[in-house]
Amino acid sequence: MFGIGTAELIVILVVALIIIGPKKLHDIAKAMGRALGEFRRATDEIRENFDLASIDHKPQAKPAAPEPSTPEKTPESSTVNKQKQAPHAEQ
């Protein structure tokens, strides 16, 4: 817990007991407990909102794109291509 060992924690509590006093120490500890609980609830709510928002904004999986199809060669198209190339070759 924050790098504080048991011995350090006991020293801090004893100093707080001496400075604040036993009556007010109880009230202060209760107020701090409530504040920490409220803080934890608020952070949990914020974390939950971010989790829900990230789920809503995740990109949907795109379907696999079909492979591009090559145009089928027909006998007429190959004949037309040969006829178009032939006049250029003669010139």
Higher pLDDT, 54 or 7: 7
Check pLDDT > 60 for residue 84: no
Give the pLDDT confidence score for residue 26 in this predicted structure: 84
Q: Which residue ranges make up each domain of the chain?
A: 22-57
% of the chain at pLDDT higher than 90: 20
Give the pLDDT confidence score for residue 85 in this predicted structure: 57
Which segment, 3-7, 21-25, 38-42, 76-80, is predicted with the most confidence on average?
A: 38-42
Instruction: Give the per-residue SS3 of 30-43.
Output: HHHHHHHHHHHHHH
Q: Two tokens at 80?
A: 């037309």
CA 51 centroid distance within chain: 7
pLDDT grade for 71, boundaries at 50, 70 and 90: low
Give the residue carrying structure tokens 């949907």. 60
